[in-house]
Every structure is written in structure tokens, then in C-alpha cells.
Structure 1
Amino acid sequence: MPLLTVNHLKKIYTTRFGGNQVQALSDVTFSVEEGEYVAIMGESGSGKTTLLNILASLDQPTSGSVILNNVELGSIPDRQLSAFRRENLGFVFQDFNLLDTFSLYDNIALPLVLSRRTPKEIQRRLLPLAQMLGIDALLKKYPYEVSGGQKQRAAVARALITDPQIVLADEPTGALDSKSTDSLLRIFEEINRMGQTIFMVTHSLKAASHANRVLFIKDGVVFHQLYKGAASNEEMYQHISDALTVLATGGKNGE
């Protein structure tokens, strides 16, 4: 059984005074197996961000369902949603979303602090993660004292510290230079090899080429998908580029 199942998602936004409706998602259906590394791509306005927000339980679909490890997100009471997100979902954002008044250690520890874990348990989980990500010497520093790549490593550590069912990454390389991008993508590949499921929204062909599968969304539906298989990152990059060309020129669904 898939870890994540998305069934016929539709999302319609109504303008403030109810005069106009915007259909962000029309009929999105796909699944993600445990341990997969999936990227989703599409033009601006295609519904990627809306989809990610629904998967993160930050927004509700107009119809359809999202099931994570046999739990339908729509069935979770509002008062339990924050705890569900904290315990089951890891988030990596383009702009890092670190608190400048917290050290890197405290930023990474925050999900466990909110879950009322003991300082000893937090340290036991946090230090090996920081070492793996190469930021163990920076834990006393504040976000404004470190580079963008180091901030993003701290954000990855924060996403992983709860041992989430799935990591949701929103343009994780968008604010990084090329060297930091390459480093982060190697980290994503490494944690995926360790069994972590990753679902990433990206505009970057380079970032998407590191995923095992790429979904393409257009006009609120999944238009096409590519499996990496035995292809190299460079070959996958070219396959994605070709698919985006078809997407932009109006090829038929599934071609």
C-alpha cells in the first residue's frame, strides 16, 4: 500500500465577495510509495503550491482526499492538525523559515520542544543529524551568522529530527547558489537512500533531475510523469527538459 495516496483532488478558490471562482486543481490523482523521492514541476499558476499546501494540511481541498499512512488528512480534527504535522511531516522551504532569535541548535530542536521531549532526547537526536549534515560546529550560531547553504542544512535537520513519514520541500534550492544547491541535492539523495520519503516542488531542472520520479502538473491535473530508472542525473535532466517543452507547447496529456 502506498505511503501517500492523493485521490481526485479539486480546489476552487472563491474571491472575497464571491464574484469569481478560480480552479487551482481540477482532478489530481497519484500515489507515493514509502522511500520514493518525487519531484513535481509545472508552470507558475499550474497548482503546485496549492497541492503542496493541501498535502501539508495547511489547506483543505474542495473535493477529493489525501491519505497518509492510512490516515485521511480531512478526518483530522482542527485541534489535532498541528501535532499531526509536527509528528508526521517535515518541511523544507525556499526561504529557510528559521527564527533569527534562536540559535541553529534551538531552531532544529523546536519541533521536539513543542512535542515536550526531554533535553536529553533532543540532544541524542540532534547531534548525529547535525554531524551528518556538516553543521555540528555551527549549532551555537544564529541564522544571520551563517551562509544560505548552512541555513538550509539546519532547515533540513529540523525537518528530519521528528523522523517524519514524508519530507515536503518547497523550492528548497531556490535561494541557494550553485555550490550550495549541489551540496543540498547530495544531502537529499543521501537521506533518500537511508529510506526517507521526499516530495519536492521545484522549478529547477537540476533539482528535479535528482528525484526518482517527476510529476508534471498543468491546468490543475497531472499531465505526465517520468521515472528515472537507471538514467543518470544528466540524462534525467534532458528527459525533463523535453517533457517541459511538450508541456509548454500544448502536447496531449500523457505524451
Structure 2
Amino acid sequence: MEILKVDQVKKIYTTRFGGNNVQALRDITFTVESGEYVAIMGESGSGKTTLLNILATLDQPTKGKIVLEGKDLGRISEKKAAKFRREQLGFVFQEFNLLDTLSVKDNILLPLVLSGYPQNEMMARLKPIAGRLHISELLEKYPYEISGGQKQRTAVARALIMNPKLILADEPTGALDSHAAMQLLDVFSEINRGGQTILMVTHSTEAASHAKRVLFIKDGIVYHQLYRGERSREEMYQMITNVLTAIATGGER
């Protein structure tokens, strides 16, 4: 079942004082099925971050539309956008975005608190997620007391706590060492096997090789895509490397 549709999305920025127009996205079209795990790759300036901001309703396309489970995101008012993000989208950022003044538990529960959930339901949701992410023993600690990998698993728990339709991950392994990055990617694979839809922007070939599909963006369009199918992660890694080489050297699709 199709959960996300990105239909001929274009984004043009006008520079300060109305100077030159900068076309960040030229014509982006793709769909994501419920339960998919999709990675988006591309060189710096290819439009990945712009696309993620539009998907997150933090920006609006100049043309085209984004539809999430039948809802046109362009028709959501600014007043309702924050509530929509909190309830329908889960976010995992490179720099964790945790509040040092809150415990791990309170960081995870924050979206539920903002949405007015009762205490008993918050606890009922917290326990299985914390156990699944192996952070149950960290709940009373503060972010400055735990490792980078533990911080990112806390961020994943916060993203999952509202049962979002879609997880948007922005370079989630970028601030982690190789061991913590592999642990996080294993977590992503596990929650995806549980049915969670994930869309991840990454520069990391290793991270992308865990996904079921990889979209490559170049010059504001979807340049190419790879499906994992029955391929091993090692085979996927090599295929991703080949496409990135073609992009860097100006090769054909």
C-alpha cells in the first residue's frame, strides 16, 4: 500500500533582494510503500536536505505535491503543521537534538506530553520501546551522561513513541563511531521488519546498504534507484558504490 507520494516536486529559492533563482529540486517524483526502508543519496547540493525539509512540512514546494496516506501536505495550515509533524512523522537527526535538561525518559516522552497523553498510557508506550532499543537502564540518566550511540537510540525511541506513519532520518549515523553506527543500523532494520516505514537521507554507503531501496538524487531529479531484492548487504554496498562513482564521473544512468 502506498503511504507516500512525491509528485513532480520543484523547489526554487530566490536569493536575497530578489536576485538569481536557485533551483534546488527540478522534478522529483517517487512513491514509498508502507513498510519500506528507503535511503536517499546524492552529492552535497543535490537537493536531499531540501527534499527532507519539504517532507517534514518545514518548507513548501514551489510546484508539485507531497501526499502522505492520502493527505496533501501542502494543504496543512501552519497552525496545524506542528501537530501533524508530532503525530504523523518521527524524526532522527545527526546531532540527536536531545534536551540536556531532561532525562532520557522525559526526552522520549516529550511528544506525548506535548500532545496531552495521560501518564499511564505514556508509561505503557515507553516500556516496550525502551526494552526494544536496549535503553531501559538509561531512563533516569541525562543525555550528557550517555554515549553517542545511546543518545541516538534515545532519539529513535522518541521518534517511535507516537507510532508515526513515517520515520524521517537525516544522516542518523553521521555523529557516531563505526561500532555505534552499526548498532543503530541494526536497530533501524529491526524496527523496519516490525512494519515501520523509514526514509533516510545519508552520505554513508554502509548505511544505505541496509535499506531495501536506494534513491540517488542528482541536479534536482531522481537520477537512479536500486532495489535490494534478494541481494546481500555486501552486494548492495558494491552496487551503491558503482552508482556513486557514475554520478561523480558524470556517467550515464
**Pairwise CA distance, 1:9:** 0.5
Aligned pair 1:106/2:106, yes or no? yes
Q: Structure 1, residues 192-248: CA drift from partner, whole Å, max 9, x if none? A: 000000000000000000000000000000000000001111110000000101111
How far 1:27 moved relative to its partner? 0.3
**Percent same amino acid among aligned pairs?**
67
Alignment partner, residue 234 of structure 2: 234
**Structure 1: distance between partners of 2:61 and 2:25:** 9
Where does 1:68-217 land on structure 2 (aligned, <5 Å)?
68-217=68-217
Q: Deviations over 1:69-99 (max 9, x none)?
A: 0000001111111111111000000000000
State the alpha-carbon separation in 2 of the partners of residues 145 and 20 from structure 1.
Answer: 47
Task: Verify: 1:246 aligned to 2:233, yes or no.
Answer: no
Alpha-carbon distance between aligned partners in 1 of 2:10 and 2:103, rounded to the nearest angstrom: 40
CA RMSD of aligned residues (A): 0.6
TM-score, normalised relative to structure 1: 0.98
- Partners of 1:151 and 1:106 lie apart in 2 by 13
Q: Distance in 2 between matches of 1:205 and 1:26?
A: 24
Distance 1:19 1:204 in 2: 35
Relative to the length of structure 2, the TM-score reads 0.99
Give me the whole-angstrom Cα distance separating, in 1, the residues matched to 2:220 and 2:2. 22
Structure 1: where are the runs of 5+ without partners? none
Aligned to 2:58: 58
CA distance in 1: counterparts of 2:203 and 2:229, whole angstroms: 21
SS of residue paired to 1:100? coil
Q: Which moved more, 1:66-75 or 1:13-22?
A: 13-22
Deviation at 1:7, TM superposition (A): 0.4
Partner Cα separation in structure 2 for residue 251 and residue 113 of structure 1: 50
Deviation at 1:15, TM superposition (A): 1.1
Gaps of 5+ in 2: none
2:203 partner SS:
coil
